Amino acid sequence: MLACSDIGSGTPLVLLHAFPLDRGMWEPQRPLSESCRVIAVDLPGFGSSAVDPGFTIDSAADRVADLLDSLKLGTVALGGLSMGGYVAMAFARRHPEKLSRLILADTRSEADDAAGRDNRDRLIKLTEEFGPSKVYEVMLPKVMSDETQKNRPDTVAFVRGIAARQSSAGVIGGLAALRDRPDATPGLERIAVPTLIVVGEADAITPPALSESMAKRIPGGKLIRIPNAGHLANVENPDTFNRSLTDFLEG
């Protein structure tokens, strides 16, 4: 079973983290537990969840569904950021009956292209050779906005600390799952629950234009741009991120 934290009470909000992080990245969302039950999940191979040799984005969505069953939850609001968003879209496709609302943050529906897949293979080799933190050092320049990286060393250290505690096997499994993930674009039109799409205005990994195109395809999709934030909008501008989620969940 996937590891998770579970705080607060009321409407369940399930949160899925980015790569190569774990549920600790949702710490700035702790205030949301004043108005709902926040369940932050470690995806397979990350944080306290065991490595799953068969880890794919689709299988991760099924493991999240198993977790919700074990917690005896009916429908939930599900939010995922980047890799977590890929899993959330797979969940919406595979377990729509468990979904009441969807939040897609700093993510994209498209699969990797050939260059993207080659890059995953390169990062797998780097991890095998130099360990998991090497991957993050390669990714870091793009993960947070220039402004965050220049002026907010505590935020950078917080994220780096989460990346540094992941295992090689977890990171390699994650890279393979990201490389092989399906194109989620055709499924967007079938999403039948209210959906919030959130993106940092300075997101360099999944730029706002990709969020705009997802918002157009999802019936009932609503887009919010988060100022003063790059790819990790929930960490870089938690006040605006949290307010957007609260308004959406209460709306």
The strand pair at 4-7 and 37-41 is best described as antiparallel
Nearer to ligand MLT, 36 or 104 (CB): 104
Contact between 83 and ligand MLT (CB under 6 A)? yes
Residue 101 Cβ, how far from ligand MLT at the closest point, in Å?
21
Residue 232 and residue 25 in contact, taking contact as beta carbons nearer than 8 Å: yes
According to DSSP, the residues that pair with 104 across neighbouring strands are 80, 197
Nearer to ligand MLT, 98 or 231 (CB): 231
Whole-angstrom distance, CA of residue 152 vs CA of residue 110:
31
> Taking a C-beta distance cutoff of 8 angstroms, is the pair 161, 20 a contact?
no
Query: Which residues between 191 and 230 bind ligand MLT (CB under 6 A)?
Result: 205
Strand 195-200 versus strand 99-105 pairing type:
parallel
Residue 40 touching ligand MLT (CB under 6 A) = no
Least gap, CB of 236 to ligand MLT (angstroms): 13
Residue 82 touching ligand MLT (CB under 6 A): yes
**Nearer Cβ to ligand MLT (14/36):** 14
Q: Which is nearer to ligand MLT, 171 or 223 (CB)?
A: 171
Instruction: Return all residues near 213 (Cβ < 8 A) that are at least 6 apart.
Output: 109
Interaction site with ligand MLT (CB under 6 A): 18-19, 82-83, 178, 205, 231
